[in-house]
Structure 1
């Protein structure tokens, strides 16, 4: 917790000399650069408190940006998070709740039949790509798409490396690649190449507004870093849960490439006319990197699985500083819509946080997640989950101010946490604070009803209670 406070104070200290007053008249069609790193944890950056990973370019960018300390992914793993961000809709609209299949884990330990799960967003979805293109923008995606076979169908003029692949595959960070991308030079590094292509896109777009979506495959597994950087971190002492030299090398390579892209924007005098957003698609994998004080990691709906780094820079418009209002990545779409004053008739489930960026009053609201599916454990010893067999079981979550309620469908379990005093979600107050529990449960049920959220109720015929109990006891005994 001490680190969390120190980081916030350092960021605030950096604000004073970074920006003047933002203009009252906003540019009509600023460029938008959205950088989305895969599986990057909340504290996996220097400006977010890591003392092991080195991210000098992002650290500098953070002093020029609005840094959201309570930013949330739309889901706890890749496909649903990206689908909701790109469409601005809850999973109930596009149907993606997880990376297929939805019934992971030993069938004998699943009490319910998981709800139906889509593999792709529908062609009819009015995505960010289509939105920007219809508003006169040149659009490009460079990296991991993961929510359909072809981003071109969803409004992107340029697609480099994006298809249904969720990761670059075995040995895939060094060419020859396993994704739909041919190397220009032997042994080139995927993160470098994607940035090269993104830079070419920026240079060829000068003179018209552009939307650049840069969803790096890194830092998703397989963990592969450049040899010199791996060696550097082998010789650097890490801390508890942050000590993997290969992962650290991947993070530094990503930071270097973000720095390269930012330098090009500056050199082309585009900084004043470009909004830059940097985030991650979900929490990091806890077995790879701890996100303390947050509990658990990717695939879990505890804070470590869904709270993500987020910063937004728009030179001379967005005043730098730390922001504690809670936002979700579904809010990007309505924010962009308000940003360019679009009159497009599009239904969105998020809320624009442009007023927050411009330091205007904005009302906090409740956030919701729904996951009628199963995700098996990564590493029972490290996951920090509710039980050692699954990162998550079917349920829903509501975040309301400092309070967070988890509801589980198999056993009706309820967990209530005071995140202000217990960010690690270690003290369940559902019994000790029945009034708050009942209040949030009522809100959660009303939200599910409003959006038609499916609740799995069909019993799994393969479920074996005795086997499940034995499996939990056996796994727990090994921890």
Structure 2
């Protein structure tokens, strides 16, 4: 076949334009979004965070290519409120789900009243546009696996998922969704295949019941950690590596389908953990508490070519994930969200315009589902190196040992010098206490609870 010289000239001129247009179209394609959320994992228990024993090679590999924030926080150190924050982008005192369950002190767990209160808590999700719902407006499909407390995956706005939710059997916090990771990731792979077939961007919520108890790791992993350690600690360490293995499986699935190149991955844990060597679950000052091993988590954002890698000193919070993911998807971020859209800073490496983060702690059992402050135990604020923790007289029903509140006065810690919060400096720095207490009051004015103070 012969072509005229004029046709060839036109073709040669057009090829760069066509290529540029296709490249721009590919570049403009909204990114896939993946949330990797571990369950009950200490902030230091990773290779990339310097743990001398726990091995997390897959997360380490992602972290090397990510913007890593070692000083990340969740505003509430308890499972359900923390996950509700990720769905709504709001503090627990705003979204209203402050604890895991209505208090059985005021209604027997088998009573109709108790079930009505459970249903009312789930209905609080209806007051917000969840992240999956906001992403759906941008053409996204979404998949839920792992933990979910707020009813079925459809109730939370996911287009696909595993959890049937309350009032189905086992619907308290995940039912069938809790199998993910521990029993493979087949449901995720099916969803990824559907996304490819539909040519749709997607949001993947991977919140497995790992390393959460029961600590039942594969024997091959447990054997790696048995040398000289209490069995309970070895099991927890092995669970951390097992979770890491499943993250590697998800990465393989993305890469095999050609999806990784245009995917943003965000990692964090829902709340902290210190494994108690005596076998009785978690140690004090970890899960359910406002101390660092309750609320601190490394947070990283991965998207090679779009997000500048490096370890960052900025303060970040799980509240930022909703607006950042929504902005990455091309959605409009509401100014009512307390978190920050970090996309510009993630791409440039510039410092985040923030010097303070806030948090709050409530009892596991919700004393009054319409009055969050009835269960308020703590408020805290971090400014630079300083952390101020104030204690309140909210009601605790079960889990008394988790909230001893033995130190009645303000607690002030220098987290840079004392990351394990061993020394209360409140008496040495009354000016810092006063300044940070004022910040707390301006952020969230407590009107119904009394601060516990030293007599």
TM-score range, shorter chain: 0.7 to 0.9
The match for 2:392 is: 409
User: What residue ranges of structure 2 are gaps of 5+ in the alignment?
Assistant: 1-23, 106-116, 366-374, 394-406
Distance 1:429 1:195, change over 3 A: same
Q: Tell me which residue corresponds to 2:141.
A: 138
Aligned to 1:154: 156
Aligned to 1:227: 219
Matched residue, 1:61: 62
What's the RMSD between the two structures over aligned residues? 3.4
Deviation of the 1:337 alpha carbon: 2.3
Partner of 1:19: none
Q: Which residue does 1:217 correspond to in 2?
A: 209
SS of match in other structure, 1:248? helix
Q: What is the CA-CA distance between 1:355 and the residue it aligns to?
A: 2.6
Q: CA deviation at 1:244?
A: 2.1
The answer to whether the 8 Å contact 1:69/1:310 transfers is yes
Contact 2:138 2:330 in 1 (8 A): no
Distance verdict in 2 for CA 1:214–1:164, change over 3 Å:
farther
* SS state at 2:190 partner: helix
- TM-fit CA distance, 1:407: 1.0
Provide the TM-score with structure 2 as the length reference: 0.76
**1:164, 1:454 → 2: CA distance?**
33
User: Where in structure 2 are the equivalents of 1:348-387 lying within 5 Å?
Assistant: 348-358=337-347, 359-373=349-363
Question: CA, structure 1 residues 372+300, in 2 after alignment: closer, same or farther (shift >3 Å)?
Answer: closer
Q: d(CA) in 2 for partners of 1:160 and 1:179?
A: 8
* TM-fit CA distance, 1:248: 2.6
Partner of 2:268: 279
2:271 touches 2:287 (CA, 8 Å); kept in 1? yes
Aligned to 1:6: none
**Contact 1:127/1:154 (<8 A) preserved:** yes
Q: What whole-Å deviation, never above 9, does each CA across 1:220-270 have from its counterpart, x for those lacking one?
A: 112112233223432x445xx897222233222221111111012122222
CA radius of gyration, larger in = 2
1:102 to partner: Cα distance: 5.7
2:127 matches 1:124: yes
> Is it true that 1:269 corresponds to 2:258 in the alignment?
yes
Q: Match of 1:397?
A: 380
Equivalence for 2:425: 429
Q: 1:288 to 1:49 in 2, by over 3 A?
A: farther
Please report the TM-score for the alignment, with normalisation by the length of structure 1. Answer: 0.73
Are the counterparts in 2 of residues 328 and 350 from structure 1 also a CA contact under 8 Å? yes
Cα-to-partner distance string for 1:350-408 (whole Å, 9 max, x where unaligned) = 11222331113421231111235368xxxxxxxxxxxxxxxx97121111111111111
1:246 aligns with 2:247: no
Equivalent residue, structure 2, for 1:96: 97
Give per-residue Cα distances to partners, 1:206-227, cap 9 Å, x unaligned: 1210000100111111211223
How many residue pairs get aligned? The number is: 386
Unaligned runs of 5+ in 1: 1-22, 105-115, 173-177, 183-188, 376-391, 460-479
Cα offset, 1:303, TM superposition: 0.8
